[in-house]
């Protein structure tokens, strides 16, 4: 019986429409993925009914015997996969996980360091409008012209400001994270070093990315993205972290609960456990390595077609296209909108030394996790790169007006013209036929 259709036909219809959109289009936002039917089943289970404040064997509510076993399973699986000493699987997502790290290691006003947001960093690594940049003294580091972290600057800032906490990790960084260099800097000044691997957790497990466990004191991650699980978060304390601070695990746990959260989402914990079990299979390692192969193939074809890529390629799961040669400063919106209309979903994004603004950035970010989940390989990446280039050529005569007052009318007209463009409609039909031949659950 379709309970949802009976109870709320409006929501049921919208979910069905979204399902069709995902099946008939190409999802290329690097932070997205498709979960397995088993993960979906755990997420939609009766576990959502339970309240479980506290930790296994130390709950504030009764009736948690089964919940305890589920959470312990998730912890045990994560410890094994990531080679860490302690795991907290209760954070609601990546941002709450990162906030808990601050609470466990810093006091308000302490100096911290992370990658500058327009350079590819994350809000919670100290960006000025984030809680982390408001309540802590943030000294962000930047990337060089080629998109790599400027470690000369990281050294300089660390020596000058003596941060209590240094972050490695990013949202739009096409290289592998050089954890060893960050560790050397953090160790030299006695700072905590936290590796945020939200984007690359699945790659780390598969050996397709450098493992931070022997370098960092703390590792945080979301459980979706390349890990291919539900939307949740984890905080891990390494053996090195416990050596620096024997009470670090307890500090992390207290920061999560009762510091920042109430009861955990038990249905999400179960789904995390399922995803971790799937990630421990040989097939997952093959999958994660294929993500990187696909990203490199995509980057190669994009460059061959005429795009300029930050870093001239990719070492992980994502590419970052610099669209200044195509549309001038602030052109990311144009390609995102046109591709969305054609059936390819990605996101506008800032580029290093952004000449415009985060509101109208000059690049787009795209990745291969979801395409790889659907069974696509290098050959398909070339085809998709060709479509992206074709769409860019169709809208090539557009540029963002410098006069802000003229932008509203200009962008309104651009959307109207794009929506009725017959060439884009033709490409959309091609993509629909292509995408529909690849199931969402391909493993």
Annotated catalytic sites, by residue? 51, 53, 196, 222, 225, 231
DSSP letter at 86?
Answer: E
Give the three-class secondary structure for 235. strand
β-strand partners of 233: 222
Rounded Cα gap, residues 293 and 37, in angstroms:
25
Per-residue buried b or exposed e for 345-378, using 16+ beta carbons within 10 Å of the residue's own CB: bbbbbbbbebebeeebbbbbbbbbbbbbbbebee
Dihedral of CA 251/256/262/266: which sign? negative
Question: Kind of pairing, strands 347-349 and 137-138?
Answer: unpaired
CB atoms near residue 76 (< 10 Å): 13
Q: Which residues, 6 or more positions from 299, have their beta carbon under 8 angstroms from its beta carbon?
A: 174, 309, 312, 313, 314, 319
30: tokens are 């690097």
Rounded Cα gap, residues 77 and 99, in angstroms:
24
Which residue is listed with tokens 């060709």?
386
DSSP H helical segments within 37-178, as ranges?
Answer: 37-43, 65-82, 94-105, 131-134, 151-161
Q: Which residues, 6 or more positions from 377, have their beta carbon under 8 angstroms from its beta carbon?
A: 290, 293, 294, 297
Annotated binding-site positions for (6S)-5,6,7,8-tetrahydrofolate: 117, 121-123, 357-359
Q: How many residues does the chain have?
A: 443
Q: What are the Cα distances from residue 15, in Å, to 7, 9, 20, 34, 339?
A: 14, 10, 9, 15, 22
CB contact at 8 A, 172 and 314: no
Annotated binding-site positions: 117, 121-123, 357-359
DSSP readout, 32-49? Answer: -----HHHHHHHTSGGGG
């Amino acid at each position: 019986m379709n309970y949802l259709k009976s109870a709320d036909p409006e929501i049921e219809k919208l979910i069905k429409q979204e399902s069709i959109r995902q099946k008939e289009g190409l999802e290329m936002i690097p932070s997205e993925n498709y979960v397995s039917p088993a993960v979906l089943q755990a997420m939609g289970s009766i576990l959502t009914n339970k309240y479980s404040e506290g930790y296994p064997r130390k709950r504030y509510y009764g009736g948690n015997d089964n919940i305890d076993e589920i959470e312990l399973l998730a912890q045990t699986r994560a410890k094994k996969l990531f080679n860490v000493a302690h795991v907290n699987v209760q954070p609601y997502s990546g941002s709450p996980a990162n906030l808990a790290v601050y609470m466990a290691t810093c006091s308000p006003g302490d100096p911290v360091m992370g990658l500058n947001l327009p350079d590819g960093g994350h809000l919670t690594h100290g960006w000025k409008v984030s809680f982390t940049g408001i309540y802590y003294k943030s000294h962000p580091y930047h990337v060089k012209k080629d998109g790599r972290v400027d470690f000369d600057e990281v050294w300089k800032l660390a020596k000058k400001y003596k941060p209590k906490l240094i972050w490695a990790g990013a949202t739009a960084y096409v290289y592998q994270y050089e954890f060893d260099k960050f560790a050397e800097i953090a160790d030299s000044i006695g700072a905590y070093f936290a590796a945020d691997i939200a984007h690359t957790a699945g790659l780390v497990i598969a050996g397709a990315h450098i493992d931070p466990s022997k370098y960092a004191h703390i590792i945080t991650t979301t459980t979706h993205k390349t890990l291919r699980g539900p939307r949740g978060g984890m905080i891990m304390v390494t053996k090195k972290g416990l050596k620096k601070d024997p009470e670090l695990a307890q500090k992390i746990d207290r920061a999560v609960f009762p510091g920042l959260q109430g009861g955990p989402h038990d249905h999400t914990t179960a789904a995390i456990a399922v995803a971790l079990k799937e990630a421990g299979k040989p097939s997952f390692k093959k999958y994660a390595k294929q993500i990187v192969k696909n990203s490199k193939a995509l980057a190669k074809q994009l460059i061959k077609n005429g795009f300029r890529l930050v870093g001239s390629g990719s070492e992980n799961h994502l590419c970052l296209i610099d669209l200044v040669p195509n549309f001038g400063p602030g052109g990311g919106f144009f390609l995102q909108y046109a591709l969305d209309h054609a059936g390819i979903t990605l996101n506008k994004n800032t580029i290093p030394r952004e000449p415009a603004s985060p509101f109208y950035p000059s690049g787009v970010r795209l990745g291969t996790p979801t395409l790889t989940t659907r069974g696509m390989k290098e050959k398909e990446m070339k085809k998709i790169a060709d479509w992206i280039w074709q769409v860019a050529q169709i809208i090539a005569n557009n540029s963002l007006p410098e006069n802000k007052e003229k932008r509203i009318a200009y962008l309104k007209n651009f959307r109207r013209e794009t929506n009725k463009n017959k060439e884009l409609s033709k490409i959309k039909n091609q993509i629909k036929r292509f995408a529909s031949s690849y199931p969402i659950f391909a493993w």
